[in-house]
Structure 1
Amino acid sequence: NYQALNEEYTSLNEDLESTVEALSASESMFRSMVEQSPVAIALCHTTDLIIDIVNDTMLEIWGKDSSIHGLRLAEAMPELVGQPFLDILKNVVITGEPFYALESKAYVFRKGERVEGYYNFICQPIKNNLGEVDSVLQVVTDITDQVVSRKEVQKTQEMMQMAIAAAKMGTWYVDPNTKEFHYSEVLADLFGYEGDVPMTYQQAASKVTEEYLPIIEGAIEAATHTSGNYDVIYTQRRFNDDELIWLRSFGKVSKDEVSGEVTFSGFVMDITEMKKDEQRKNDFIGIVSHELKTPLTSLNGYIQLLHRLALKENNTFSADALATAQRQVQKMTTMINGFLNVSRLESGKIMLDKTSFELNDLLQAMIEESTVIDKSHHVTYIGCADTLINADRDKISNVFSNLLSNAIKYSPNNPDILVKCETSSSDVIVSIEDHGLGISQADLPEIFKRYHRVAVNPTISGFGIGLYLSAEIIERHHGKIWVESSEGSGSIFYFSIPK
């Protein structure tokens, strides 16, 4: 019997040793898995939360090193005192109930600095070999970057909404699936819509004035084909009082590459007051310019008369002085005509009086006239025969006069100017080349905009309206105007007119 008991004891001892070895191997494997895991994991024992296992990823989040092994969590991380996490972990050990949290904000110390972070975490109760919960396993995911990015986006959206509200801009969006018209309260207020049922896109479009409807449709169609932006100024009638208002609509038409659906959204702002201010300004400029032209016309007549008398009497000094005065009067007249034309153009009152005429003859006459007035430059003209065009003679004359006078004005140190007239199968192309100050690359895209002046020489007078008017006139003739230039090397201005 003793031998049998001894054998049984030996067998049980071997089984126990085997079990202990298995447990030890299992624990070793578990520790190895935790330490190698890319996910932040820590295991704390008892309600004192003694740190037993913690991997490098968790240590990085905590801002600690391996020296905290065996310490109480509150001792290792005193910054957690006053935050909810110590109580949460203790409660998991006490109740045996797991705990989950998303986007929980926590403060830790890293390199001596208090750092705010956001984390998803799981607290899982762990039982010992007696089936009792005596530990808690914590798995943490650092989502600080994602949360901060989302909050930045939300902040930007809130600021944008505030800006939209402050600017009193209406917003709208057309659903690509249902074709429903979604809009803000500000837009309904701008449109004067007070209906009980939501406004449709067709209803909104029906209030656009007839002359602007094809312009809007064309802009939308162009943006749809290019999946680009659109920006249109137009007039429409309000729903409630039929008042005519000016609106600016801008936004984006985009197309989904997979489904092919078109997303149509944008903003609308009321610019009625701005348009009224522009009209008042244009009316003022028109009145003042008109009043200035009358005495200038008389002054020019007297100067011409005195100039002829001086030439007849061979009074060289008086003739030269009067010629200078005549040039200054002509410059003033050109400037006033420019302001008048801007006023008429922006009021929609500038009209084209098209007739058929020889462009070559017009250019030759204007170059001869310029040579008589200004003898400081030498203009070489390479003409083109049989250049009959249908255009507004006075307006084309203004364009050429402006480009030629600019070439003279901006080339004070080089008197040579070359004018060419060339023809293609469909157009007549005129170019004016100088070897003067030139235009910088920064100024080139802005050169034909209203009131833009090239800041190459502050002593050169002007208001930045000549090229703007020239571009508008050429555009109304369905032609093109452009420039080639580099700073310090002169410029070549071109314009083309359909035959």
Structure 2
Amino acid sequence: MQIIPAGIEKFLQLAPPTLIIQPDSAFTILYANSAFYSVTGSKPIDLIGKSFIDAFPENPGDMESENFKTVRKSFEECVNTKIQTDLPTQKYDIPIRGTDKFDTRYWQALNTPVLNPDGRVEYIVHVTIDITGVFKLAKKEHIAFEVSETKRHELHTLLMEAPGAICILEGPEFIYELVNPTYQSIFPGRKLLKKPLIEALPEMVDHPLINVLKNVYSNGETYEGKEVLTRVARQENSSPEDIYWTFIYKPRYDFKKNIDGILVFGYEVTEQVLSKRKVQESEERLKLAVENTDAGVFDTNLVTEKTVRSLKHAHIYGYPDNSEEWTLDMVRNHIIPQDKDKANEAYIRSFDTGILNHSFRIKRNDGEIRWINTTGKIVFNDTSEPVRIIGTVIDITERKELERQKDEFISTVSHELKTPITSIKAYAQLLQRELGDKENFRNKKFLERMSIQINRLEHLIRDLLDVTRVDSGKLEFSESVFNFSEMVSDVIGDLQLITPTHDLIIRENHQVSLKTDKHRIIQVITNLVNNAVTYSSHAKTVYISLVEDKDFVVFSVEDFGVGIPGEQVPFIFNRFHQAENTNDGAGLNLGLGLYISKEIITRAGGEIWFESKPGKGTTFHFSLPLKRT
């Protein structure tokens, strides 16, 4: 080893980690300064006189490393070109002296040739800097940057794909930095991105929300708005419209913890607000209607049997207010014993029809007996199970009393008329016998007409009496077994004798026997046939049929008369209802026949119905349970 002059030695000791290397094939190390020994954890014995590869062997654990090859190439280039060469950032693991382990290091190096007077390279000055710490820090920062970029991208994707309306307003001018598709869809014809809020939506210039945004930006206070009204145009140059929002303004901070923008998360709730207003208005109207009507309103949960009811409902049942819990059991407890069965039957039947409609008497909370009418609609769930009843209750005591008085009057008048009518009929029959075969044809004709009118009066009186019996529940009904087919033949035969204007034709007459009230069924058949004749004065035929249909017998009467107008169909079986647009003969009755007929058939366990086409005719049917003997 050459001895380095003291002045140069002093200079080298102040230099960065430095080696002086002989430019031979082994690149033998001739000198190392203290800084080099320190940074590599080496001693002179480890380096001086040894080749570079012996002093710094390659890490056997790093199979992909070509560190020495790179360093040697740099040395050779320095010798061959006689110019300075540099090694950029280079990973070169160094041995941990006294062990078989290596320490991972990163270096930057500079190889400078020292020439002799002949111009040949005499030494290579190898100056190196350990950048391991800097490299690791840079690597961490790079990784952190990549993570940050990934997170930023994920956040951006999340914001852009979110179902809510989201935007980011940048800076104190509130420039639209980000606008997601949902937010933009609210303003489909307007350009927002990169524009200040006031420029993009000038209608907002005087809106209180501008001051709210300024406050959030200045003070960092999050603001939450619910159903806030803004009047803004959705399209460019279109008319402004009311748009309601529910939203949050949240300040955004930069890396120095300074506010640099505002995050806006919101939803347009215009449709919900308007719908809610309609519901509120409807509820107000309903409340006003309920408060100003005589009807008590109720809503019963059939699962819990608890009821929400109006104040009027409570008053009808004799309670001062509706604060007390109300249940179906309480309704049942108020019904008087005589009406409980019928009320329960109507309640059970409502689950089949979907409609509740029945009248019964209750004993109010104050002990008074009152008539009430309950109507309601059954609400079913998705599995067709009844879950609610919504309806009304009306006190009909006064109406029932008027009906009682009317029925009493009708009954009294009917009974009072029976005696004189019977007498008049007897006198008419005596006169007919007195005239006998005398040739006073005119007088005989008058007597025949009088007999017809007397019969009609008798029929009307009988109907009036039957109506009062039906309404009071005292309609006489006496069951017996009889041959239905023979009865039909007999009745139609008798009616044909007194109906010269029409042919009464039995098209089908199955042989069946029934157990029911024969005389009441004759009354129904007579009424249906008479109606068919009355309302088909321009036709000459009425068809009658009796057929078996599974477990029922079905009787039908078909005419070819005026038919029943559609608007009258719902009222045909009502008391005192008469069809309109018919011939003059239709006015000779009180409209009680079909009402009484329906009550008789219902009492017998059957059903009555009809089909009709205006101008073409009507067919009435009734069915009765078939009981074979």
TM-score range relative to shorter protein: 0.7 to 0.9
Partner residue in 2 for 1:214: 341
Larger relative contact order (Cα-Cα within 8 Å, sequence gap ≥ 6):
1
Residue in structure 2 matched with residue 73 of structure 1 by the alignment: 197
**Distance of aligned partners of 1:114 and 1:348 in 2 relative to their CA distance in 1, 3 Å threshold:** farther
| Residue 217 of structure 2: aligned partner | 93
Contact residue 250 and residue 262 of structure 2 kept, 8 A: yes
Q: 2:504 aligns with which of 379, 400, 407?
A: 379
Deviation string 1:443-464 (CA, Å, 9 cap, x unpaired) is 6565434344444536432543
Match of 1:159 among 280, 285, 288: 285
* Whole-Å separation in 2 of the counterparts to 1:467 and 1:48: 83
Question: Bigger shift: 188-197 or 162-171?
Answer: 188-197
Match of 1:121 among 247, 253, 262: 247
1:330 aligns to 2:455 (yes or no):
yes
- Pair 36,487 (structure 1): closer, same or farther in 2 beyond 3 Å: same
Contact 2:220/2:259, CA 8 A, preserved across alignment: yes
Q: Distance in 2 between matches of 1:37 and 1:426?
A: 65
SS at match of 1:211: helix
Task: Deviation per CA, 1:343-400: give whole Å up to 9, x if none.
Answer: 332233433245666656655554454344332112235767785754162x333212
Partner of 2:372: 247
Q: Within 5 Å, which residues of 2 pair with 1:185-204?
A: 185-193=311-319, 201-204=328-331
The one-letter amino acid of 2:337's match is E
Superposition deviation, residue 306 in structure 1: 4.6
Structure 2 residue corresponding to 1:43, chosen from 161, 168, 175: 168
**Which residue of 2 is the match for residue 108 of structure 1?**
232
Q: Aligned equivalents of 2:154 and 2:535: distance in 1? A: 85
Question: Residues 447-458 of structure 1: matches in 2 within 5 Å?
Answer: 447-457=572-582
Q: Structure 1 residues 256 and 491, CA, compared in 2 at 3 Å: closer, same or farther?
A: closer
State the aligned residue count.
485
1:138 Cα shift?
1.9
| Cα distance change, pair 252–387 in 1 and its aligned pair in 2 (3 A) | closer
- Give the residue type in structure 2 aligned to 1:348: G
- Contiguous gaps of at least 5 residues in structure 1: none
Q: In structure 2, what is the Cα distance between the partners aligned to 1:468 and 1:261?
A: 32
1:473 correspondence with 2:600: yes
Query: 1:57, 1:386 → 2: CA distance?
Result: 75
The equivalent of 1:171 in structure 2 is: 298
1:280-359 paired onto structure 2 within 5 Å: 280-291=405-416, 296-307=421-432, 312-354=437-479
Q: What SS does the corresponding residue of 2:228 show, helix, strand or coil? A: strand
SS at match of 2:338: coil
Amino acid at match of 1:407: A
Q: Does the 8 A contact of 1:109 with 1:115 survive in 2?
A: yes
Q: Secondary structure at the match of 1:312?
A: coil
1:150 aligns with 2:276: yes
* CA–CA separation in structure 2 for the residues paired with 1:261 and 1:336: 45
Please, which moves more after superposition, 148-157 or 377-386? 377-386
2:556 corresponds in structure 1 to 431
Give the structure 2 partner of residue 135 of structure 1: 261
Going from structure 1 to structure 2, the CA distance change for 1:476 and 1:171 (only over 3 Å counts) comes to: same
Distance in structure 2 (CA, Å) of the matches to 1:30 and 1:51? 17
Partner deviation per Cα, 1:307-331 (whole Å, 9 max, x = no partner) = 5556622334443444344334433
Secondary structure of 2:252's counterpart equals strand
Identity of aligned residues (%): 28
Partner of 2:358: 232
**Distance of aligned partners of 1:343 and 1:223 in 2 relative to their CA distance in 1, 3 Å threshold:** closer
Q: 1:359 & 1:31 partners in 2: Cα distance?
A: 87
Q: What is the one-letter code of the residue matched to 1:86? A: I
Q: 1:93, CA displacement in angstroms?
A: 0.8
Indicate the residue corresponding to 2:103 in structure 1: none
Cα distance, 1:418 vs. partner?
Answer: 3.4
Question: Distance between the aligned counterparts of 2:563 and 2:528, measured in 1?
Answer: 13
Report SS of the residue matched to 1:274: helix
**Secondary structure of residue in 2 paired with 1:113:** coil
Per-residue deviation at 1:48? 3.5
* Alpha-carbon distance, 1:131 to partner: 3.7
Q: Tell me: CA distance 1:296–1:110, structure 2 relative to 1, closer, same or farther (3 Å).
A: farther
Distance 2:550 2:158 in 1: 81
Distance 2:527 2:200 in 1: 82
Amino acid at match of 1:138: V
Which is greater in Rg? 2
With the length of structure 2 as denominator, give the TM-score of the two structures. Answer: 0.64
What pairs up with 1:390-401 in 2 under 5 angstroms? Answer: 390-391=516-517, 393=519, 395-401=520-526
* Partner Cα separation in structure 1 for residue 406 and residue 286 of structure 2: 32
Structure 2 counterpart of 1:416: 541
Q: What do you get for the CA RMSD once the two structures are aligned?
A: 4.5
